Amino acid sequence: MQKRKLGRDGLEVSAIGLGCMGMSAAFGPAMERGEAIRLIRSAFDKGVTFFDTAEVYGPYTNEALVGEALKPVREQVVIATKFGFDIEGSAGFARKPTSRPEHIRKVVEGSLQRLQSDYIDLYYQHRVDPDTPIEDVAGTVKQLIAEGKVRHFGMSEAGVQSIRRAHVVQPVTALQSEYSLWYRAPEQDILPLLDELGIGFVPFAPLGKGFLTGTVTAEQQFGADDFRGRQPRFSAENRRANQVFVDAVNRLAQRLGVSAAQVALAWLLAQRPWIVPIPGTTKLKRVEENIGAAGLVLQPADLEEIAAALSGIEAQGDRYPPENKAMAGR
With both helix axes pointing from N to C terminus, report the angle between 243-256 and 300-310 in degrees, rounded to the nearest 10: 160
Cis peptide before 279, with omega less than 30 degrees from 0? no
Give CA–CA dist 294/14, Å, rounded: 9
60 carries an active-site annotation: no
Residue 306 backbone dihedrals phi, psi, to 5 degrees: -65, -45
On whether the CB atoms of residues 156 and 177 are closer than 8 A, the answer is: yes
Indicate which residue of 57, 179, 183, 320 is catalytic: 57
Torsion of Cα atoms, 289 then 292 then 297 then 301, to 10°: -20
> In the chain, which residue ranges form alpha helices assigned H by DSSP?
33-45, 61-70, 101-115, 134-146, 160-169, 190-197, 236-241, 243-256, 260-271, 284-292, 300-310
E strand or H helix at 258: none
> Active-site residues: which are they?
57
